[in-house]
């Protein structure tokens, strides 16, 4: 399906069942084996909502020349939506092998060119990322370590970090939070002396339907 058709279908779904229907469509709805949480300070799998993901894709905005990296990708919901809706290069990094196998199988079934690395975000290759997404994958010292790695990327090129359910304000003084109307989603731009900022001329390829979905609040 095209981006437009997919968005029209998502917009037609009632907000209360939308996430379940999208996950069923992607083939990632089935329950996850009880192996989570995967380690100290690591958080188990839970899928992000369609609305905040679209909000992030619009707000960044993610465009076809971006490389989006979902740190703690789970079954790939963020990765699939990002690829389908923006044509960006997308990679998921996920520590749990069973989730990675299922995410790769879903990508193949869907014909979506999304790569999943079975790796720990503390050591995985992330240097090419221009947009990072984190939905509470880890906390405490692990989050600090990964944020330091992301900072090293930002020392080479400007990046945007989308954080869902976690606050990075205290983690990183090199990240500047945007003023957006969302309780759960925070978007940060890297500001590193000597590194040119991301171009302000980017326009989202997502249309009005995506805006409507992104702005919807559950009752
Ligand atoms: C809350 S889920 C988010 C899933 C997905 N990003 C989404 O938004 O739908 C967090 C994921 O991070 C993974 N994770 C936790 N610690 C990790 C680490 N150190 N490296 C890579 N993945 C990790 C977990 O296995 C889990 O699947």
pLDDT in tens, the chain (219 residues): 789 999 999 999 999 999 999 999 999 997 776 555 778 899 989 999 999 999 999 999 999 999 999 999 999 999 999 999 999 999 999 999 999 999 999 999 999 999 999 999 999 999 999 999 999 999 999 999 999 999 999 999 999 999 999 999 988 999 999 999 898 999 999 999 999 999 999 999 998 888 888 987 543
User: Does 47 contact ligand 1 (Cβ within 6 A)?
Assistant: yes
Asked if residues 178 and 188 have their Cβ atoms less than 8 Å apart, the reply is yes
User: Does 120 contact ligand 1 (Cβ within 6 A)?
Assistant: yes
User: Does 38 contact ligand 1 (Cβ within 6 A)?
Assistant: yes
User: Does 99 contact ligand 1 (Cβ within 6 A)?
Assistant: yes
Distance 151 CA to ligand 1 centre (A): 19
The minimum-distance atom of ligand 1 relative to the CA of 92 is 6
User: Does 46 contact ligand 1 (Cβ within 6 A)?
Assistant: yes
Residue 37, pLDDT score = 74
Residue 33, pLDDT score = 64
Residue located nearest, by CA, to atom 10 of ligand 1: 137
Question: 170: Cβ–Cβ under 8 A, 6 or more apart, which residues?
Answer: none
Residue located nearest, by CA, to atom 13 of ligand 1: 72
Question: 137: Cβ–Cβ under 8 A, 6 or more apart, which residues?
Answer: 42, 43, 71, 72, 121
CA distance 117 to 43: 18
DSSP H helical ranges for 13-72: 15-26, 50-59
């Amino acid at each position: 399906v095209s981006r437009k058709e997919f968005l029209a279908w998502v917009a037609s779904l009632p907000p209360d069942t939308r996430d379940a229907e999208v996950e069923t469509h992607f083939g990632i709805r089935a329950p996850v084996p009880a192996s989570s949480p995967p380690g100290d300070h690591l958080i188990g799998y839970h899928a992000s909502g369609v609305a905040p993901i679209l909000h992030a894709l619009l707000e960044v905005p993610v465009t076809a020349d971006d490389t989006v990296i979902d740190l703690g990708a789970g079954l790939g919901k963020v990765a699939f939506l990002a690829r389908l809706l923006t044509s960006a290069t997308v990679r998921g990094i996920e520590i749990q092998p069973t989730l990675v196998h299922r995410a790769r199988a879903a990508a193949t079934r869907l014909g979506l060119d999304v790569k999943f690395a079975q790796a720990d975000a503390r050591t995985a290759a992330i240097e090419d990322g221009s947009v990072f997404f984190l939905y509470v994958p880890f906390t405490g010292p692990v989050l600090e370590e990964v944020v330091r790695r992301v900072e090293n990327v930002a020392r080479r090129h400007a990046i945007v970090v989308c954080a869902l359910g976690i606050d990075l304000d205290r983690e990183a003084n090199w990240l500047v939070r945007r003023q957006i109307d969302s309780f759960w989603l925070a978007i940060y731009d890297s500001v590193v002396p000597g590194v040119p900022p991301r171009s302000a001329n980017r326009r989202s390829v997502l249309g009005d339907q995506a805006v409507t979905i992104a702005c919807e609040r559950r009752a």
